[in-house]
Amino acid sequence: MKRIVIIGATSSIAEHCARCWIQKAPVDLVLVGRNKEKTEHVAMDLRVRSPQSTVVSMQIDFLDPIHIKQLADDLEKEAAIDIVLIAHGVLPDQSRCQTDLVHCEEALLVNAVSPVLFSEGFAASMQKAGHGTLAIIGSVAGDRGRKSNYTYGAAKGLVARFAEGLQHRLAGTPVNVVLIKPGPTDTPMTAHMTSQSGRLASASEVAKQIVSGIDKGKPVIYTPAKWALIMWVVRCLPRWVFNRINI
């Protein structure tokens, strides 16, 4: 049985990834969340879907480096981990970030600092074990800063640069690092963007592509795939053009 650890397991995208995995074959799943009850609800669902899998849920403070390190070591010690998916994140209100610096700080901590702590923790234990794939969810928003969400974009950009460095460091080792960049997806995170609802990808479709991308060991997964092209164009736009676009 594959052993998979999901950080931010109550995220809709992560939950659909878990459903994909257990649908393929029974797995040994560890779900990590900040809220005990919500995480356990996800675990109960997965146990019904796959009685042969083992699913445990646990709670942790997502900004506590000592405990994060401990968790990574303990889980690796229990049994070798095949995949870690780091999925948590929050979409802050950009205009509020500009005036309410507490809100701004929170967004940076949850979207950038916390995933880095988990990644370092698990990268170390996986490297020691000489085995496993570390998959981190970034975002297309991290590819270029834009006025409507650059705080979030900057945090996701940090994750991207971090993943790049980690890939460099672990190149030639058996440990794989995968950076996932979803486009706008229909999840609770985007529930307020009702005017866009027709243009959002479904979480199950995005999850399917993530799971198959991880299987193939792709270094970067844009999902849905069209975002690779769109973001390439966005990155190429000269500043004087980009700055005139209202996005």
Q: How far is the CB of 56 from other proteins (least distance, A)?
A: 17
With respect to ligand NAP, which residue has the nearer C-beta, 157 or 184?
184
Binder among 1, 56, 191, 245 for other proteins (CB under 8 A): 191
> Is the CB of residue 110 less than 8 Å from the CB of residue 88?
yes
Rounded Cα distance, 203 and 195, in Å: 18
Q: How far is the CB of 31 from other proteins (least distance, A)?
A: 13
13 binds, among ligand NAP, other proteins, none (CB under 5 to 8 A by kind): ligand NAP
> Is the CB of residue 143 less than 8 Å from the CB of residue 234?
yes
Rg (C-alpha) for the chain, rounded Å, is 18
49 contacts other proteins (rule: CB under 8 A)? yes
11 contacts other proteins (rule: CB under 8 A)? no
Specify the 3-state DSSP secondary structure of 190.
helix
Look up residue 92 and give its two tokens. 């802050």
Q: How far is the CB of 3 from ligand NAP (least distance, A)?
A: 20
Residue 68's Cα: distance from chain center in Å? 16
> Is the CB of residue 92 less than 8 Å from the CB of residue 104?
yes
Q: How far is the CB of 108 from ligand NAP (least distance, A)?
A: 11
| Interacting residues toward other proteins by CB under 8 A | 12, 37-38, 41-42, 44-45, 48-49, 51, 188, 191, 194-195, 197
